[in-house]
């Protein structure tokens, strides 16, 4: 029987397609998150949050809430009125902060909850999880 040659596949000489970084795909500058804490006398500290709270900006909020919630001041109000967007990582930060506050005998309370954040809370079944306080 004659020997048949098996052909090896040729390596392509076409250069590989350059993959774009995620930064290149953005539609423009993103609004950054901002966090501001106001202490008002005997009242609870109010942490005002603004911008987008997502995977990239959630650590900023987490560090800030960790610094505010202490054994001597376990209660805090988080004002979400200026939040344009929040995903599950932002919600996770609020839950961790509430767990920390509960260990010290306090709670994280929310105020001025935007519709988009309300939808997120409703979608994950956490509508009544956080106490809601009226805005002043």
* pLDDT per residue as tens digits for the range 80-113: 999 999 999 999 999 999 999 999 999 999 999 9
What does pTM read for this prediction?
0.74
Q: Is residue 52 part of a domain?
A: yes
Q: Is residue 61 part of a domain?
A: yes
Q: Is residue 26 part of a domain?
A: no
Q: Is residue 19 part of a domain?
A: no
User: Model confidence at 20, in pLDDT bands (50, 70, 90)?
Assistant: very low
Give me the number of domains the chain comprises.
Answer: 1
Token pair belonging to 51: 């911008």
Q: Is residue 136 part of a domain?
A: no
Q: Is residue 119 part of a domain?
A: yes
Say what the pLDDT of residue 33 is. Answer: 76
Q: Which domain holds residue 89?
A: 32-123
Question: Quick check: 86 and 50 in contact, CB under 8 A?
Answer: no
Per DSSP, the three-state class of 68 is: helix
Q: What is the CATH number of the domain that holds 103?
A: 3.30.750.24
Q: Is residue 84 part of a domain?
A: yes
What's the CA gap between 114 and 83, in Å, rounded?
A: 7
* pLDDT per residue as tens digits for the range 27-69: 455 557 777 777 665 578 999 999 999 999 999 999 999 999 9
């Amino acid at each position: 029987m004659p020997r048949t040659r098996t052909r090896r596949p040729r390596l392509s000489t076409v250069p590989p397609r350059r993959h774009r970084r995620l930064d290149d795909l953005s539609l423009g500058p993103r609004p950054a998150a901002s966090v501001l804490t106001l202490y008002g006398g005997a009242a609870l500290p109010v942490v005002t949050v603004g911008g987008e709270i997502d995977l990239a900006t959630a650590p900023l909020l987490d560090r800030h809430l960790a610094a505010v919630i202490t054994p001597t001041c376990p209660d805090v109000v988080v004002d979400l009125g200026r939040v344009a967007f929040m995903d599950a990582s932002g919600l996770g930060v609020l839950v961790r902060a509430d767990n920390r506050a509960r260990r010290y005998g306090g709670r994280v309370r929310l105020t001025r909850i935007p519709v988009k954040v309300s939808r997120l809370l409703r979608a994950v079944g956490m509508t009544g999880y956080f106490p809601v306080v009226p805005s002043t």
